[in-house]
Amino acid sequence: MKNMTDSNMPLNDGNMAVGVSQQNSDRLKLGTVLLASSASLRLAQQTPSVMLSKMLPSKQVNSFILPDDIIKNMKDKIKETKKLKIELGFALCIQNSKMLSDKDNQINQKDNSQIIKDIKKGTDCVGTKCSIKVGKCEEDQIYIGNYHTHPRSHPSMSITDMVTGCSEDIECIGSAPFNTIRCFTRKTSESQCIEEIGPFEAEEHRILEKGGNIRSILKSPKTIVKTDIIKLLKDISQYETDIAKYHKNRFKLLNENFNRTDIS
Ligand SMILES: [Zn+2]
């Protein structure tokens, strides 16, 4: 949270400086008469900064801004994930500028914010399928991606997350064990991204399922005793080799196709 505020400081300070120097020059022109009303001048100096701080971006990812309230929602989902131990999330949306009123468009043009767009929260999603596009946006919004939590792992993209992310503008992940949020944006073309990553998705499902099976056997002495121990040891050894290869390949695909931004 501190970093997000710090990253906004130069913009905030810059805008404040314009306001103060403007008022100082006005004050010189009007002379001593206005000195009596210096209290109201101070109030005038404060008001724009309060307004600005409400409008200022919390965290910028490419041409999108993650406002404070969205980051708070993301953190809340991490808290809930710790309790429920399942993936949770929501769709990430932006306002469709074609549906804005003329008045809103004028404001956008004035502050140049038509290039940088505020992310809005879409519908919530629950369950492991959350990493797939299940969240939806309002009718006057455009779907740009998803946020979802990982109950047990890093805020890093699985192959499935990457395949989903190939067709999105932004994919954000919150990690319950590490209490961190990270957003990913594609740096290759959508077709190149899918072409490179898609072929590894089935292999990921196979290896994660294998890991799940081994863990369920190792969960209790009863299931271990019932198992062919020699075969189990061989399976574990093979799994360790396979999972190391899988992660190496996953990191390679991630670095080649996505940029990452730490949110908190
Ligand atoms: Zn995921």
- Residue 88 CA to ligand 1 center (angstroms) comes to 10
pLDDT of amino acid 19: 33
- Residue 129 CA to ligand 1 center (angstroms) comes to 9
Q: Give the structural domain span for 43.
A: 2-55
Answer yes or no: do 173 and 225 share one domain: no
- Residue 6 CA to ligand 1 center (angstroms) comes to 29
Quick one: average pLDDT of 142-152?
93
Q: Could you tell me the CA-to-CA distances from 114 to 58, 95, 143, 157 in Å, in that order?
A: 17, 10, 17, 30
For the whole model, what pTM was predicted? 0.71
Answer yes or no: do 126 and 40 share one domain: no
- With cut-offs at 50, 70 and 90, classify the pLDDT of residue 20: very low
Q: Inform me whether the pLDDT recorded for 255 exceeds 60.
A: yes
- Residue 155 CA to ligand 1 center (angstroms) comes to 8
- With cut-offs at 50, 70 and 90, classify the pLDDT of residue 102: low
- Residue 158 CA to ligand 1 center (angstroms) comes to 5
Answer yes or no: do 67 and 43 share one domain: no
For residues 24, 25, 29, 35, the Cα torsion angle rounded to the nearest 10 degrees is: 0
- With cut-offs at 50, 70 and 90, classify the pLDDT of residue 103: low
Q: How many independent structural domains does the chain possess? A: 3
| Greater pLDDT, 14 or 154 | 154
- Residue 180 CA to ligand 1 center (angstroms) comes to 13
- With cut-offs at 50, 70 and 90, classify the pLDDT of residue 100: low
- Residue 153 CA to ligand 1 center (angstroms) comes to 9
How confident is the model over 223-254, as pLDDT tens digits? 999 999 999 999 999 999 999 999 999 999 99
- Residue 54 CA to ligand 1 center (angstroms) comes to 32
Query: What count of other Cβ atoms lies within 10 Å of the Cβ of residue 148?
Result: 27
* 23 lies in some domain: yes
